[in-house]
């Protein structure tokens, strides 16, 4: 019986090397992937924190040449990807290494696409449009939020239209991720909090996704349990054990969402990044409670399991009753993290809502949400948290 590939379930992740000091394997890994001239993508913050000097030392120990590309901002832009690809080609690089958060990693993926596929990055927006393998890609994430180091996703902002383009292709899953919790120690508390909420959103959206399956569910639940245990402490104290817990939470959530895809929180968060340049983790955090309240009725049994992973007592209570706890649990966590809770706090005006909702309705992440919301429903959700 021939079965179309699209009807089958997939589970794919990179090779993971985990532990304090694992960044020191970056030269070894680039060498193992066949590299001689490494294209190192990062951002100025990582350079200032000293991680790029360290990375360069590890590359040099393996006698590797390198080119550093750091023209990367939060919500990375199409022209930065194109500029990077041009430099990669001009310098005859052969392996890409990304050291940083989601922005350098997504930029690295975009550069990889353009170096081995034709045309402009805009042509690859959507699912499975990247047909040629990209160069080997080794990542070292510096936040416990992105999941980009394990996922088949890249999100690049269109400078002209200000839309965020979601690129979803197996070809852009990285080859190796070096998860070194030490890289988290140089991030400010509010970034630890916002990226941690990104991890929680990845896990919850993957778990309720219409493409979730028994291989993705345990990763999502484990990530939720770890966020509950470690995020507040990681934010408030930067205790290394808490940062280690969040590193694993991020990995687990990445494995879940890369293979089960995402949902309405991401669909609504992407326009906030594109139009207002709001940090992606913060955008998710602002929208997570209101989207959960709307999603509850569609998959109450799944939300009851999430409530349990977040610490709810579940005995002798109905599924619906337990599921109702999730938005409160999430709001309580956001309160502990002292993150903003209203869109108006981050520069959004009521007049912007129709345009935001129009973009969110068209976002590819809406397709795997338990329910596909229409523009009017989405406007109501944005208004709820204005």
Residues at the interface with a copy of itself (CB under 8 A): 1-3, 5, 7-13, 15-22, 24-25, 28, 58, 61, 170, 182, 213-215, 218-219, 221-222, 226, 248, 251-252
- For residue 137, give the nearest of 48, 23, 26, 288 by alpha carbon: 26
Distance CA 306, CA 381 (A): 21
Residues 6+ apart with CB under 8 A from 102: 143, 145, 146, 147, 148, 155, 198, 280
Residue closer to a copy of itself (CB basis): 44 or 311:
311
Residue closer to a copy of itself (CB basis): 215 or 346:
215
- For residue 254, give the nearest of 305, 200, 335, 291 by alpha carbon: 200
- In the complex, the smallest distance separating the C-beta of residue 25 from a copy of itself, rounded to whole angstroms, is 6
Residue closer to a copy of itself (CB basis): 146 or 182:
182
- For residue 386, give the nearest of 354, 346, 344, 355 by alpha carbon: 344
Residue closer to a copy of itself (CB basis): 16 or 67:
16
- In the complex, the smallest distance separating the C-beta of residue 73 from a copy of itself, rounded to whole angstroms, is 29
* Residue linked to tokens 């393998």: 133
Residue closer to a copy of itself (CB basis): 243 or 267:
243
Residues 6+ apart with CB under 8 A from 315: none
Angle of helix 300-309 relative to helix 217-237, nearest 10 degrees, comes to 40
Q: CB-based burial of residue 53 (10 Å sphere; 0-12 exposed, 13-18 middle, 19+ buried)?
A: exposed
Residue closer to a copy of itself (CB basis): 92 or 213:
213
- In the complex, the smallest distance separating the C-beta of residue 2 from a copy of itself, rounded to whole angstroms, is 4
Residue closer to a copy of itself (CB basis): 58 or 88:
58
Angle at Cα 43 formed by Cα 39 and Cα 46, nearest 5°?
105
- In the complex, the smallest distance separating the C-beta of residue 225 from a copy of itself, rounded to whole angstroms, is 9
Distance CA 4, CA 62 (A): 44
- In the complex, the smallest distance separating the C-beta of residue 208 from a copy of itself, rounded to whole angstroms, is 18
- In the complex, the smallest distance separating the C-beta of residue 245 from a copy of itself, rounded to whole angstroms, is 8
Beta strands 164-168 and 153-157 are: antiparallel
Characterize 311-347 residue by residue with b for buried, 16 or more Cβ atoms within 10 angstroms of its Cβ, and e for exposed: ebebeeeeeeebbbbbbebbeebbeebebbeebeeee
Residue closer to a copy of itself (CB basis): 86 or 241:
241
- In the complex, the smallest distance separating the C-beta of residue 7 from a copy of itself, rounded to whole angstroms, is 7
- In the complex, the smallest distance separating the C-beta of residue 112 from a copy of itself, rounded to whole angstroms, is 18
67 bridge partner residues: 39
């Amino acid at each position: 019986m021939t079965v179309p590939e699209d009807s089958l379930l997939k589970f794919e992740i990179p090779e993971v090397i985990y532990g304090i000091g694992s960044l020191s394997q970056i030269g070894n890994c680039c060498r193992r992937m066949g590299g001689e001239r490494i294209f190192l993508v990062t951002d100025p913050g990582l350079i200032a924190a000293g991680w790029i000097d360290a990375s360069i030392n590890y590359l040099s120990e393996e006698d590797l040449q390198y080119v550093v590309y750091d023209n990367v901002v939060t919500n990375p832009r199409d022209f930065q990807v194109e500029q990077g690809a041009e430099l990669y080609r001009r310098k005859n690089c052969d392996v890409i290494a990304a050291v940083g958060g989601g922005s350098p990693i997504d930029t690295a993926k975009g550069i990889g696409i353009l170096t081995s596929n034709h045309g402009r990055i805009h042509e690859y927006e959507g699912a499975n449009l990247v047909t040629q393998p990209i160069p080997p890609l080794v990542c070292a994430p510096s936040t416990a939020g992105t999941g980009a180091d394990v996922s088949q996703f890249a999100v690049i902002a269109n400078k002209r239209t200000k839309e965020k383009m979601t690129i979803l292709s197996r070809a852009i899953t990285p080859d190796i991720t070096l998860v070194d919790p030490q890289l988290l120690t140089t991030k400010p508390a509010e970034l630890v909090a916002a990226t941690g909420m990104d991890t929680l959103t990845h896990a919850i959206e993957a778990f309720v996704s219409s493409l979730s399956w028994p291989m993705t569910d345990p990763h999502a639940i484990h990530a939720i349990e770890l966020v509950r245990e470690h995020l507040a402490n990681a934010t408030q104290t930067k205790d290394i054990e808490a940062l280690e817990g969040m590193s694993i939470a991020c990995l687990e959530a990445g494995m879940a969402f890369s293979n089960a895809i995402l949902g309405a929180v991401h669909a609504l968060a992407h326009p906030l990044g594109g139009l207002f340049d709001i940090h992606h983790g913060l955008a998710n955090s602002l929208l997570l409670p209101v989207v959960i309240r709307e999603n509850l009725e569609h998959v109450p049994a799944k939300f009851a399991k999430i409530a349990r992973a977040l610490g709810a007592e579940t005995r002798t209570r109905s599924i619906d009753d337990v599921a109702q706890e999730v938005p409160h649990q999430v709001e309580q966590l956001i309160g502990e993290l002292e993150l903003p809770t209203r869109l108006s706090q981050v520069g959004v005006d009521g007049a912007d809502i129709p345009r935001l909702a129009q973009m969110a309705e068209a976002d590819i992440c809406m397709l795997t949400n338990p329910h596909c919301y229409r523009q009017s429903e989405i406007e109501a959700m944005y208004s709820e948290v204005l």
